[in-house]
Structure 1
């Protein structure tokens, strides 16, 4: 099987190969369910390929109206359409075979859904292998003809994809001794459960569609890059109000100044995706709560006319008032963090700072003067700051969280591929807290477990507990044995910081390369 470049497609094909091998061992419910999962992934992948191809054909049509590209577009569009027609014919043929296979397995429509014997071992054999129907050789010939015809569309296509087209028609390896007869259909479909045979046909559909996509993209590149026509216009970002009272609605609208209806922008608010309405605008609504000063981070990504991706970040600030005019805001964030002094601003409306008193029910609150306070919180959950002005007390609620866990680092690497010499040159492990709202927060590594395996450890993995951040003599001895092809894993990492000692979840793995 020729593996495609896309990581998702690689994963689907690897799952397909593993499941095919497992069928030789056992036809369990788990294996049948796994085949249904892979089949669903293949079908979703096919839809994505169709959508990508349609975008390219839309661009072809626009290029036909551009004087500088019309001649080339007129030459290569028919070739791309020919590839599409060949792929569509084979895809429809494969869909028909899947329906026949289901009928061989007693297909019924129950409550609008298909029901058939997914574990039937005879249906695929009857349809594809046994004399009479024997559709297997017909299928192989259809796929072979498709491969020959699509490569023959143009000499440049044949030269470019002659050995790389993602449609492998070789006989798969099998432990079944009967396959020695060099029978392609026997190898794929003899005593194969129906759901597995359907997945095999979906796999061939996916190979055909991937082949089509590569040819169509190749033809388009002979003309130019995908053209995106901007045909609608909206404001970039706006808010309904900058000052609200508790219980009122805040509405944030996000879009781009000009966008294509074929390539709409992606909008997130505080990291959560917001869907677009019919006008291509993302509209976010929320009911504001406790008095205070808050902000929302709006991120808009969109495709520019030159095909590159543009990104806009905008902070929407708003204030929630109170009947007394008092406001309380966290100067850095909307969350109070354990282990650090959190700066707080308190305003008493028309009253001066000297008229304000405040307390907190989770930790301590230090008055720094001029309406500035520092909150030191102790327990995750919630903290309420109660502000009293003229005998009237108003509560303000804040979330209380631990500082996010730091990232273990060796040198400049946080895991993944690293050259063996670079790894051996490092002296230990550090914990780095990235992109945190408070600066200067440091964590020290106090202990970890180092495990090495792979190349250089054929007789067993090397491992040792390590105290402190620097590699111990035992750890250095293990690291010295590492070679290109070794894997070093750090786990059970314990760090110490302003909020005390904590054990980090997960592991960090380094794949050593030449």
Structure 2
């Protein structure tokens, strides 16, 4: 058995270059894992597109309920619903093909988890390429279904077809192959012949992603014929204040903050001194901390939210308060109520008997203590967990437990953006990925981008998605070559982002960046 002479039409170029170097007997785990990585990125991108579609449909419903736009909105809502019905049908059909392929590849459930023979090449060829009686010819059937889907979508409205027809990511141009079996579709042969089962699953995810992006373009066009997406604010509360402006050491400071007009669509985020605070159901955030040093103090509250026009607004509020002078021994963290791992955390200890009589010890989390000046200490904790600070001034002893937390993860960005729409010509001149540690109380703390995967699909990548593994922050030669092909209608996903922060350890962000180029 040999591989086809021209495997360039298969889904992922680098994977198939590797396949040409082996004899289809054993496919390495690294290659199979690479396919699974691409598949996860595709499904993530499809989920983002689906979320966007749901927001547009909600806005259309609001416009139907508005007497000023009802008549026009009803027309375009019906057309958008046609798009959704067509897309949902073909999306489920492809999902069913995935299930059928897994069953062909010895599907079973082990310990509650689905498994199948991921490297099985025969099953993919048999299911999609070979015709009856030896195979099932699903590839030709898939091609026909996708062709009908695209035609039906563009037939919904002639003006819509003129505007988005050329940029739809679903390119079904038949492929040519020199090693094609009789009566088999060249299109199906190019994508599925001798592809391992996990690659077949990934190829099907690629078509699902094309469908979702096609749906997104169509429903967005329908919505634009009525007006912009409207965010309705249905909860109202304006505040950024404390429970008290005068406190004694050890007392609790409570900061309540929120946006003036709240809606779930506003997606507000609130942080206090760089620490994100969870929102309550009414959109408010409540921050609690135990105050320490005597004197005037303040907390920086940062609020960001989406305005009705879809742009992001931010506001910083300095909440001021005063801590009274105690009569005895006081131990307090200077900047935060926690110690951060591998940072120089400042600790202050004051006593009524004078600094020379104060003794301080710190235990736990591998902590080290260095005296910086009168009543000022630096604590460095290489480990996570908690520490116990014990201070004595000859008259009394105070013991407090302070948790040790990791430095917050940064937000990965390209050109200052962490996702969403991006002008194609602006994206093509970007240099790489940056790690932005936002609103963190410690100054000068930085993360370096160590590695990531760049993945491009949609317009410009109809035959094969572009994929590049990048080491470091800057786009390498492979990534730059892919980016030069990007154009309006391209979907870009940057995933598996690894960063290096304080202490030198690498961490993988629970985040990917997804752009739809315009």
Q: Report TM bin, short chain.
A: 0.5 to 0.7
**Residue 76 of structure 2 is aligned to residue 76 of structure 1:** yes
TM-score normalised over the length of structure 1: 0.61
Superposed, which structure 2 residues align to 1:328-339 within 5 Å? none
The answer for the alignment partner of 1:124 in structure 2 is 124
Distance 1:115 1:50 in 2: 27
Q: Secondary structure at the match of 2:40?
A: helix
The C-alpha deviation readout for 1:271-329, integer Å capped at 9, x for no partner, is 3333323332333344x375456543321111223333221212334566675267799
1:216 and 1:222 map into 2 onto residues whose CA distance is: 10
Alpha-carbon distance in 2 for matches of 1:296, 1:276: 18
2:348 and 2:377 in contact (8 A); partners too = no
Please identify the structure whose Cα radius of gyration is greater: 1
Question: Over aligned residues, Cα RMSD in angstroms?
Answer: 4.8
Q: How many residues align?
A: 384
Pairwise CA distance, 1:158: 1.2
Q: Aligned residue for 1:106?
A: 106
Is 2:306 the counterpart of 1:315? no
**Residue 260 of structure 1, CA deviation:** 1.2
Q: Which residue of 2 aligns with 1:305?
A: 308
Matched residue, 1:19? 15
- Contact 2:270–2:302 (CA<8 Å) still a contact in 1? yes
- What is the DSSP-based 3-state SS (H/G/I as helix, E as strand, rest coil) of the residue aligned with 1:279? coil
Aligned to 2:85: 85
Distance 1:283 1:111, change over 3 A: farther
Separation of aligned partners in 2, 1:32 and 1:150: 35
Q: Check whether the contact 1:290–1:396 (CA below 8 A) recurs between aligned residues.
A: no
Give the corresponding residue for 2:278.
275
Q: Spell out the pairing of 1:429-508 with structure 2 (5 A cutoff).
A: none
Distance verdict in 2 for CA 1:100–1:395, change over 3 Å: closer
**Structure possessing the higher relative contact order (Cα contacts under 8 Å, 6 or more residues apart):** 2
Q: Report what 1:188 is aligned to.
A: 191
Distance of 2:279 and 2:379 partners within structure 1: 41
Structure 2 length as normaliser, TM-score?
0.61
The one of 224, 228, 251 equivalent to 1:221 is 224
CA distance in 2, matches of 1:398, 1:292: 19
SS in 1 for 2:301: strand
| Structure 1 unaligned residues grouped into runs of 5+ | 1-13, 337-342, 367-372, 400-415, 420-434, 442-484, 486-503, 507-514
* Distance in 2 between residues matched to 1:364 and 1:285, nearest whole Å: 28
- Contact map agreement 2:269 2:303 (CA 8 A) in 1: yes
Distance in structure 1 (CA, Å) of the matches to 2:220 and 2:34: 32
Shift in CA distance, 46/344, structure 1 to aligned 2, threshold 3 Å: closer
Query: What are the Cα deviations for residues 347-384 of structure 1, in whole angstroms up to 9, with x where unaligned?
Result: 99xx9xxx965789846648xxxxxx9x79899999x9
In structure 1, how many angstroms separate the alpha carbons of the residues matched to 2:98 and 2:202? Answer: 9
| Bigger Cα displacement from structure 2, 70-79 vs 248-257 | 248-257
Cα pair 2:293 2:348 within 8 Å, conserved? no
Partner of 1:97: 97
1:208 Cα shift?
0.5
C-alpha distance 275-168 of structure 1, shift in aligned 2 (>3 A): farther
Q: Unaligned regions of 5+ residues in structure 2, if any?
A: 1-9, 340-345, 361-368, 404-426, 431-438, 445-480, 482-503, 507-518
Q: What is the CA–CA distance in structure 1 between the aligned matches of 2:354 and 2:82, rounded to whole Å?
A: 78
CA distance, structure 1, for counterparts of residue 90 and residue 174 of structure 2: 20
Matched, 1:261 2:281: no
